[in-house]
Structure 1
Amino acid sequence: MDEDLAWIAFASRDRDADGRFVVAVHTTRIYCRPSCPARRPARCNVTFYKQAADARAAGYRSCRRCLPDAVARDATAVAHAATLLARDGAVPLARLAQAVGYAPHHFQRLFKRATGVTPAAYARALRSNRAVAALAAENSVTDAIYAAGHDAPSRFYAADAPRLGMAPSVWRHGGEGETIRWTMVATGLGPLLVATTTRGLCRIALHEDGTTLAARFPGATITPGDAALQDLARRIVTLVERPPRGDLPPEIRDTAFQEAIWQALTTTPPGETRSYAELVATAGGTD
């Protein structure tokens, strides 16, 4: 934990830091959320703990004003909702919130604060992952479309196909004939691979590199991207600001973070006239 950054978050009552650590105050012997509305103690009178359990073990008690232990309940609700989305596909927000015991709009904010994406965006990421897996496993693109949970090919081509960076049939055949450029960038969850074809992004993945990319696309020409692609990836990671909460299961954190990066790369920011997908393609060069 970077204690200087933790202090900044605590001093500014940063709600996004809730669940990432607790703040133990020596003079009162209590521990709080970073966003606790109480008056701030002197820096020399606080200790930061990654988990509330660590603060309790050190002899501190929970703040009755900000209820830091309730953050664990929030994390449990988010993890349960993510499990429901993985099992049932896209679930209406009202039904999802009811299943975990929260009001819909409150849970929408809670889920996004914890993961960096909305429940709907998380569901899209899961469906896209299923589509990629199905393309590799099924006998045809059509079979893969239905195996991924789409009820019509048009929905797949509108939602998931643009994420492939190549024609679905080419993806099925290991990227045959494509040139894929890639780069790596450090993140709070580990190394992140960003890969692009001339059509746009084709892969964003934690804990993968050029070797795993070559294994995934044996028919493609795999080559490192230039400095422009790496600079773009670094700027996007900075734009996303922080990874999901550390108390979520790793598979939920990874999926949500990769989706947040994808959204940042493919959303046109204010003042930009070209999409990030086009910028990535340009950064990766042309054939």
Structure 2
Amino acid sequence: MRDTPELIPIPSDDEALWQALLRRDPLPGRFYGVTTQGVVCRFGCPARPPLRRHARYFSSVAEAGEAGFRPCLRCDPAGERAAIHAAAVRAACAAIEAAAEAGEPVPSLAALAGKAGYARHHFLRLFREVAGVTPHAFSAALRTRRLGDALASGGRVVDAVAEAGIGSESRVYEDGARMLGMTPGVARRGGAGEVIRVAFGNGPLGLVMVGMTGRGVCAIELGDDQAALRASLAARFPQARIEPADEAVRAAVARVLDWMEEPRGALDLPLDLRGTAFQRRVWEALRAIPSGTTTDYAALAGELGLPRGARAVARACADNGVALAVPCHRVVGRDGSLRGYRWGLPRKAALLARERGGAA
């Protein structure tokens, strides 16, 4: 069950620290040394706890180092090993992207591992832990993004397939809905032939715009200027015809404003979500977060089976164009701090305060 993240109170006495060590509580800013091994660990280290008489406590890894302790290889308290791994994976991702941009074959796992200086199976594990996906899945996602961009520009499907580096046009037609979240034709048309009706309203967080197709709400945007909000919608659906509201859209705006006044439960509206299969997985997970509670990007990634996919989850949150109904404002940093929000951090803070019953 999710709850609002709270920092675990840091004990100040040895007894409380010892009990936290035994429970493997993660205590930010506290570390313990093991005198018999000469190592310093972060609280929560998976290694077997030492005997109590062999434990010493420190406020930093540097302090422990001055006392003669070296970092534990299992929990990496200084984060040095994690930084090296992350840099190796970033370099591999850059190599994959460079090959795709140049129209060259994607480097094999063996080539990526060799360049990074790791064994093939070890690098596969590192890549999956850091990026949240395998190199093959990362490459496939990159091709899908390039395909979507090419189709959105209005190019022919056959040209978009070639530009994205996908070997078979027939595969795109067979798997297009799974890859893109829509058929290639719909993606290529950029909303051509569709009518999006829009309406505006003023609520406690400022101006609200709702856009609706025949299938449901495709946009809920927050802002300060009608023209800017219309421009944002037009950028997402460049070929669609945007028209004034009908009764259904005006009713949707009224429901949004009512919900903003008293944000309890889900904002239940028929939705027309446009995104990749992964984005829609994230958006559906966001909709399951109860009002008044939060989760963090890493925890949400873990629920989706991507223990190191926090960045990918954050990107999917940033691409959400349906505020409130897809409540990306309920995702915060691991320490409870507010992170990026498409419609501004002040609105994110105000939304969370309202959901928790505080002043906006």
Secondary structure of 2:181's aligned partner: coil
Residue 255 of structure 1, CA deviation = 4.3
Q: Once the two structures are superposed, what CA deviation does each residue of 1:241-286 show, in whole Å capped at 9, x if it has no partner?
A: 37876xxxxxx964476589xxxxxxxxxxxxxxxxxxxxxxxxxx
AA at the equivalent of 2:74: C
Alignment partner of 1:140 is 2:160: no
Q: Once the two structures are superposed, what CA deviation does each residue of 1:47-76 show, in whole Å capped at 9, x if it has no partner?
A: 5x7xxxxx4389666415437222222111
Distance of 1:95 and 1:5 partners within structure 2: 46
Alignment partner of 1:157 is 2:173: yes
Q: Could you tell me which runs of 5 or more consecutive residues in structure 1 were left unpaired when the two chains were aligned.
A: 50-54, 181-195, 204-208, 246-251, 261-287
Secondary structure of 2:31's aligned partner: strand
Secondary structure of 1:37's aligned partner: coil
Alignment partner of 1:76 is 2:87: yes
1:1-287 mapped onto 2 (5 Å cutoff): 3-4=7-8, 24-25=31-32, 31-32=40-41, 35=45, 37-39=47-49, 45=57, 47=59, 55-56=61-62, 62-66=70-74, 68=76, 69-89=80-100, 90-137=106-153, 139-178=155-194, 212=232, 214-218=234-238, 219=240, 227=268, 232-235=285-288, 240-241=301-302, 254-255=311-312
Q: Percent identity?
A: 33
Could you state the TM-score of these two structures normalised by the residue count of structure 1? 0.55
1:198 to 1:213, Cα distance in 2 relative to 1, 3 A: same
AA at the equivalent of 1:121: A
Distance of 2:288 and 2:21 partners within structure 1: 25
AA at the equivalent of 2:83: A
Residue 231 of structure 1, CA deviation = 6.4
AA at the equivalent of 1:215: A
1:80 to 1:133, Cα distance in 2 relative to 1, 3 A: same
Residue 12 of structure 1, CA deviation = 7.1
Could you state the TM-score of these two structures normalised by the residue count of structure 2? 0.45
Secondary structure of 1:32's aligned partner: strand
Distance of 1:253 and 1:119 partners within structure 2: 16
Distance of 1:109 and 1:210 partners within structure 2: 44
Give the aligned CA root-mean-square deviation in angstroms: 5.2
Q: Could you tell me which runs of 5 or more consecutive residues in structure 2 were left unpaired when the two chains were aligned.
A: 11-16, 101-105, 197-211, 220-228, 244-248, 257-266, 272-282, 290-296, 318-360
Residue 140 of structure 1, CA deviation = 1.9
Residue 148 of structure 1, CA deviation = 0.9
Q: Once the two structures are superposed, what CA deviation does each residue of 1:88-118 show, in whole Å capped at 9, x if it has no partner?
A: 2443322222221112222222222222222
Decide whether the 8 Å contact of 1:116 with 1:244 is kept in 2: yes
Decide whether the 8 Å contact of 1:131 with 1:160 is kept in 2: no
How many residue pairs match? The answer is 224
Residue 23 of structure 1, CA deviation = 5.6
1:198 to 1:110, Cα distance in 2 relative to 1, 3 A: farther
Secondary structure of 2:286's aligned partner: helix
Q: Once the two structures are superposed, what CA deviation does each residue of 1:105-133 show, in whole Å capped at 9, x if it has no partner?
A: 22222222222222221111111111111
AA at the equivalent of 2:96: L
Decide whether the 8 Å contact of 1:138 with 1:144 is kept in 2: no
Which position in structure 2 is the counterpart of 1:268?
A: none
AA at the equivalent of 1:25: Y
Decide whether the 8 Å contact of 2:34 with 2:50 is kept in 1: no
Q: Once the two structures are superposed, what CA deviation does each residue of 1:133-175 show, in whole Å capped at 9, x if it has no partner?
A: 1123363222111111123312333455533333323322222
